[in-house]
Amino acid sequence: MMIKFLNAIVVFTLILGLMLTSSVRATAGDDPVSLVQQTASEILSSLDANREAYTENPELLREVVRKDLLPLLDLEYSARLILGKASRGASPEQISAFSEAMSSVLINRYSDGLLSFRSTDQLEIMPLKGKNTDKVTRVRTRVKLDSGGHAPVDYAFRKTDQGWKAFDVTVEGISYVITFRNQIVPRVEADGIDKVTADIVAGNVVIDE
């Protein structure tokens, strides 16, 4: 299975997946499932009403995804996980700027995948198991591939003062945080966080996955 194939669905399965199966039901208004259901409902409604316009101008869809999806993500926490020791000495403003730059990479890369979503049968949410707590939860899904096989895509949520936030996605055992860390941190160590942030914003940094 190719990781690049799965890149096209990582984010939109985050916003769609939890509402595309009856195997998981929301039990509280602020749990990860119900939060994603609400977000997905808004994005899907916009997608259904404007699919032709979004196909012609993907930036319109990116704006919708950015507005509705970003509140679900713990961007600064993800940024700190990506940077690791390289974040030492960085100011809150630098971390915030870096996290915003990384969020644009994600939105621009993945939002177009919404237009390729074909069927709810492509996704199955697995029963919760493992070390899920009232502070950290991992939602496991399986994405059906054209070959007939399935690829695991897991989402890590943590409880914050603002409620549940997603901070990592793991596709076929490969963490988005670790993938970005392995490629970004050497640049930060060599050039500094400000230079790397500016390069990301300018589109001069390509993350291979």
With respect to residue 56, please indicate whether it lies within any of the assigned structural domains.
yes
What CATH number has the domain bearing residue 75?
Answer: 3.10.450.710
The answer to the question of residue 37 being in a domain is: yes
Classify residue 193: in a domain, yes or no: yes
Name which of 40, 28, 203 is nearest 117 in CA terms.
40
Q: What is the pTM of this model?
A: 0.74
Q: pLDDT confidence of 2, banded at 50, 70, 90? A: very low
Tally of domains within the chain: 1
Q: How far is CA 180 from CA 68, 76, 79, 131, 168, in A?
A: 23, 14, 9, 25, 11
Pairing mode of beta strands 174-175, 123-125: unpaired
Tally: H helices and E strands in the chain: 8, 5
CB 3 within 8 A of CB 171: yes
Q: ∠31-27-41 over CA atoms, to 5°?
A: 65
In a domain, 106, yes or no: yes
What is the spatial distance between Cα 78 and Cα 73, in angstroms, rounded to a whole number?
A: 9
Q: What is the pLDDT of residue 19?
A: 42
Domain assignment of residue 207, yes or no: no
Sheet of 150-160, strands arranged across: 123-125, 136-144, 150-160, 163-171, 174-175
Q: How many residues does the chain have?
A: 209
* pLDDT one-digit tens code per residue, 80-138: 999 999 998 899 999 999 998 988 877 776 666 666 655 455 566 666 666 667 788 88
Range with the lowest mean pLDDT among 9-13, 15-19, 78-82? 15-19
Q: How confident is the model at residue 148, as a pLDDT?
A: 75
Q: Is residue 103 part of a domain?
A: yes
Is 88 part of a structural domain of the chain? Answer: yes
Domain with 197 in it:
3-202
Rounded-to-integer distance, Cα 108 and Cα 67, Å? 13
Nearest to 168 by CA among 4, 30, 32: 32
Residue in the block written with tokens 């007939």: 148
The residues near 203 (Cβ < 8 Å, ≥ 6 apart) are: none
| pLDDT range class, residue 172, cuts 50, 70, 90 | confident
Is position 22 within any domain?
yes
Distance in angstroms (rounded) separating the CA atoms of residues 198 and 183: 16
DSSP 159: E
Flag whether pLDDT at 169 surpasses 90: no
SS in 3 state form for 85-101? Answer: HHHCCCCHHHHHHHHHH
Whose tokens are 């890369």? That residue is: 109
